[in-house]
Amino acid sequence: MFTSKVYTERRNRLRNKMQSGLVLILGNTEASYNYPANTYHFRQDSDFLYFFGLDHPDFAGVIDIDENKDYIFGNDVDIDDIIWMGPQPTVKEQAVKVGVNDTEPFAGLAEFLKSAIAKGRNIHFLPPYRGENYIQLEKLLGTPVAKIKENASVELIKAVVSLREIKDEFEIAEIEKAVAIAYEMHTTSMKMAKPGVVEREIAGTIEGISLAMGGPVSFPIILSVHGETLHNHYHGNTLEVGRMMVTDAGAETTMHYASDITRTVPVGGKFNQRQKEIYEIVLDANLKTIEAAKPGIPNLELHMLAARTIASGLKEVGLMKGNIDDIVKAGAHAMFFPHGLGHMMGLDVHDMEGFGEDYVGYNDEFKRSSQFGTAFLRLAKRHKPGYVFTIEPGIYFIPALIDMWRKEGKFTDFINYDKVETYKDFGGIRIEDDILITETGNRVLGKPIPKTVAEIEETMGS
């Protein structure tokens, strides 16, 4: 946990950004896995962690915007809980650590909110993402579950985004710890990528590294020789020479800050000529966009720079043809690069995505594109110092998409389909790093993870 001052200041800053009323931040409850008492590992809600810091189930926080008071609602444990879970600090003892002096049993929350509503006060809440909290909000506010999302406070969403999107030095230090764990996960994955190994042996080993060094993985590990499936969670393939293996994996620290790194390596440790050619294009897109990242530049511009770099690289190897600007304007590159360049990262690996991507990545200046590919860009707006985000270009050969576009006669001026046919067994390549925008430019967070062809071959051979 950070010092109590950090949480008090965050709540005060939120108060200053809001007009009036109460802000209700529900923490998470335990979530059942396959029967009620067998639960997933507890994960606290990220907004509760941000403003109230306590990593404990069944709490709610209230920030009174008009009265300069904060409350935590939660129950002290009884003897049954102590027998099963060991001794626990009281709610009051925990609340003091995050600068909150007013605590009440959870049952008092409904009455507290009811009396505020009766006085005509506004209750601001964020969009929930778990069923339990939908039901809780219905009980507390009398709003039917179906109406909860549309009644979430846009004023609160915008205020929270404006705070959480700027990472302070303590948060950056946590994220660097998460990248340090990812370093161990990814170099281990590289060294294990030998023919005959089954993907799950590697996925399981590196998930264990995350658990041993910090917390759980920050999202289910993507590890596959079929990297052309962007979020491939199937880990049953046996590795064979000639295939590229994508590992997209990150860790949470004990304080729940995330990392999100992707590396792609040739099974067996040596790139063949074709793999190297495509790899160098993706690496070029990764390096060029990192170099260009600085305050004031729109992330949309970085995305388009990646698109142009990929299109011109693919043209050089004969997979695309025509004028690069025309290719990118038409969206033809998206057959190979059908996703966005990246997203904000922090307490959530896709930071604050639960509010709605457009509140986080777009604003009045940037409207989401409707073009296939660019439409999936999660972050378009201009960068500011303190932003932490991912840069993750990729090239994929997706047989179903190739077949569909070819059949539709799509972009035949730009795509050399005959040559593309010969790459249908290639798979995919993605290279992802975590970037901090500084006052003057940017910094790639954490200890550098092998990325060039030479660095990867050296690591895999060691």
Binding site for ligand GLY (CB under 6 A): 219, 248, 260, 343, 349, 392, 432
Q: Tell me the C-alpha distance between 53 and 110, whole Å.
A: 22
Stretch that binds Mn ion, among 76-84, 157-165, 255-263, 401-409 (CB under 5 A): 255-263
Least Å distance, CB 243 to ligand GLY, is 20
CB-nearer residue toward ligand GLY: 174 or 433 = 433
Residue 348 makes contact with Mn ion by CB under 5 A: no
Closest CA to 453 of 310, 263, 308: 263
Binding partner of 376, given Mn ion, ligand GLY, none, CB within 5-8 angstroms per partner class: none
Check: CB of residue 184 under 8 Å from CB of residue 224: no
Which of Mn ion, ligand GLY, none has residue 247 at its interface (CB below 5 to 8 Å by kind)?
none
Cα dihedral 283, 288, 289, 290, rounded to 10, equals 90
Under rule CB under 5 A, residue 64 binds Mn ion: no
DSSP-derived secondary structure letter, 208: H
From 390, 398, 456, 460, residue interacting with Mn ion (rule: CB under 5 A): 390
Closest separation in Å from C-beta 372 to ligand GLY: 18
Residue 219 interface partner, choices Mn ion, ligand GLY, none, CB cut-off 5-8 Å depending on type: ligand GLY
| CB closer to ligand GLY, 129 vs 170 | 129
Out of ligand GLY, Mn ion, none, what residue 45 binds, judged by CB under 5 to 8 A for its kind, is none
Write down the least CB distance from residue 163 to ligand GLY, Å.
23
If the CB atoms of residues 10 and 186 are measured against Mn ion, the closer one turns out to be: 186
Is 250 or 331 the residue whose CB approaches ligand GLY more closely? Answer: 250
Strand partners, 109: none
Residues 119-148 that bind Mn ion (CB under 5 A): none
Token pair 């430019």 is at which residue? 441
| Cβ closest to ligand GLY, residue 25 vs residue 302 | 302
Phi/psi for 273 (5° steps) reads: -60, -45
DSSP string, 87-146: ----HHHHHHTTT--EEE-TTHHHHHHHHHHHTT--EEEPPP-SHHHHHHHHHHH---HH
Q: Report strand pairing: 261-266 vs 388-391.
A: unpaired
Interaction mask 415-454, Mn ion, x per CB under 5 A: -----------------x----------------------
Tokens of 147: 């109406």
**Could you say which of Mn ion, ligand GLY, none residue 263 binds, taking C-beta under 5 to 8 angstroms by partner kind?**
none
- We find the least distance from the C-beta atom of residue 371 to ligand GLY, in angstroms, to be 20
- CB within 8 A of 211, min separation 6: which ones? none
Rounded CA Rg of the chain: 24
Which lies closer to ligand GLY via its Cβ, residue 112 or residue 219? 219
Interaction partner, residue 181 (Mn ion, ligand GLY, none; CB < 5-8 Å by kind): none
> Per CB under 5 A, does 247 bind Mn ion?
no
Terminal-residue alpha carbon distance, the chain: 38
Residue 107 token pair:
């049952």
Count CA atoms closer than 13 A to 385's CA, side-chain side. 6
Instruction: Tell me the C-alpha distance between 331 and 308, whole Å.
Output: 10
Taking the complex as a whole, the smallest distance from the CB of residue 270 to ligand GLY amounts, in Å, to: 26
Q: What is the number of the residue whose Cβ is closest to ligand GLY?
A: 219
Task: Give the ranges where 253-369 is alpha helix by DSSP (H).
Answer: 273-292, 299-316, 324-330, 357-361
Q: State the minimum distance, in angstroms, from the CB of residue 442 to ligand GLY.
A: 18
CB of 276 to Mn ion, least distance (A): 23
Q: Least Å distance between CB 54 and Mn ion?
A: 28
Residue 180 or 258 having the CB closest to ligand GLY: 258
- By the rule CB under 5 A, 289 interacts with Mn ion: no
In terms of CB distance, is 116 or 230 closer to ligand GLY?
A: 230
Contact 326, 315 (CB under 8 A): no
CB burial of 380-417 (b: ≥16 within 10 Å; e: otherwise) equals bbbbebbbbbbbbbbbbbbeebbeebbeeebbeebbbb
Tell me how far the alpha carbon of residue 327 is from its chain's centroid. 29
User: How many residues are present in the chain?
Assistant: 462
Q: Contact positions toward Mn ion, by CB under 5 A?
A: 248, 260, 262, 390, 432
